[in-house]
Amino acid sequence: MSLVPESSNPKVRGLPRMGTRSIGAMAAFAVLAGVVSTEASGKVRTEPSGQELYRSECARCHGWDGRGDGPDSVFFSPRPRDLTTGFLEKYDSKELVARVKDGTPLVIEIDPEAVRKRLRNVEEILAHVKRLPSIDWKKVDEGGRIYAARCEPCHGAFGEPWPDIVLPRGVQKPPRDLRDPLFQKKTSDAQLVSIFEHGHQSMPAAAPQLTPAQAADLVAFVRLLSPGFETFTYYCAPCHGDDGRGRGILAFGENRPKVVLDAAYFKDKDDEELSVRIWHMLEGSGTMPHFQDTLDDAQLEAIFEYLRRQPK
């Protein structure tokens, strides 16, 4: 099971939430990317569909449904084109392939305010990744399963309560933001276990009651919750893996990380150097990719045919 399950929450519009240690999640996204077996098993691959190609190559900017609202769209001014507004009907597929594959690169302006926000994200990611070598991932995985079943419906996939949440019967106050650094700092592990067992103020006790081992696992996962964890999960974990060891669900080919984020990696690097390396998320975002060396004509036509079928 995934550390962070895919969510139907409207806040998540670009790519699905991905916890990359889950075998199930790996298999699901491998199908999405068109991969049916590993390179070790003979590099057997199916031909990916237009939907699979679009979501692996275009959705980060143009959005899961082609509406220009992907998770990276916030960094561009103007935002990526909404592909559902009739633009695709102006050209046939071959003309669109020529525009995308061989046309003049579309220069994209980076939004300064979005970049300032990303700088804050870098600081949050840095705080998170420095914790990776010390995390007990077996306990976190088990705790993530419990959290998804017992806590996520109210507290959200990353500890931030869903907006406009419908509270369970008897709950009078909005759920606490579990990512809050002050809450994390002032609440001991024993206090968290007590909350799980007995409830606290308007929060009901966990039912059925957790065993001591389950409570300890849930504590381990709750301690992971932070803005840095959420950002790392979106932008880094698909390649680097939740544990930073380069075993993410997209960690193949050019996306395979060349570093392992273990204790040895952090030993001789200061925060400034680490921050520069984290910033690599924005590298290459100066122009719209035109896929000369990535996708062939048939694959690009499949993407456009998929987009034409989307509801307007």
> Residue 180's domain is classified under what CATH number?
1.10.760
Residues 301, 203 share a domain: no
Residue 126 placed within a domain: yes
Average pLDDT over residues 20-49: 41
Residues of the domain holding 88: 47-108+286-308
Residues 275, 216 share a domain: yes
pLDDT tops 90 at residue 169: no
What is the structure's pLDDT at 274? 87
pLDDT tops 60 at residue 36: no
Residues 152, 71 share a domain: no
What is the structure's pLDDT at 28? 31
Which residues, in sequence order, are CB contacts of 106 under 8 Å at separation 6+?
287, 288
pLDDT tops 90 at residue 143: yes
Residue 197 DSSP SS3: helix
Residues 248, 119 share a domain: yes
Residues 139, 258 share a domain: yes
Which residues, in sequence order, are CB contacts of 245 under 8 Å at separation 6+?
260, 261, 262
Residue 16 placed within a domain: no
pLDDT in tens, 220-252: 999 999 989 988 888 788 889 999 999 888 887
pLDDT in tens, 262-297: 999 999 889 888 887 887 554 433 445 556 666 788
Q: What is the CATH number of the domain that holds 67?
A: 1.10.760.10
What is the structure's pLDDT at 225? 95
pLDDT tops 90 at residue 301: no
What is the structure's pLDDT at 157? 87
Residue 6 placed within a domain: no
Residues 188, 150 share a domain: yes
Taking the model in full, what pTM does it have? 0.57
What DSSP element (H or E) covers 5?
none
The span from the CA of 143 to the CA of 65, in Å, is 32
Are 49 and 41 a contacting pair, CB within 8 Å? Answer: no
Provide the 10 A C-beta neighbour count for residue 308: 15
Residues found in the chain: 312
Residues 246, 294 share a domain: no
Q: Residue 104's pLDDT band (boundaries 50, 70, 90)?
A: low
Residue 31 placed within a domain: no
DSSP of 41-98, one letter per residue? GT--BPPPPHHHHHHHHTHHHH-TTSSS--TTGGGEESPPP-TTSSGGGGS-HHHHHH
How far apart, in Å, do the first and last CA atoms of the chain sit?
34
CA dihedral 34, 237, 75, 8 (to 10 degrees): 70
Residue 168 placed within a domain: yes
Total of domains in the chain = 2
Nearest alpha-carbon partner for 10 in 89, 64, 76 = 64
Provide the 10 A C-beta neighbour count for residue 162: 19
**Rg (alpha carbons) of the chain, rounded to whole number:** 21
The span from the CA of 80 to the CA of 45, in Å, is 31
What DSSP element (H or E) covers 110?
strand 109-110
Residues 299, 201 share a domain: no
Average pLDDT over residues 56-74: 80
The span from the CA of 258 to the CA of 231, in Å, is 20
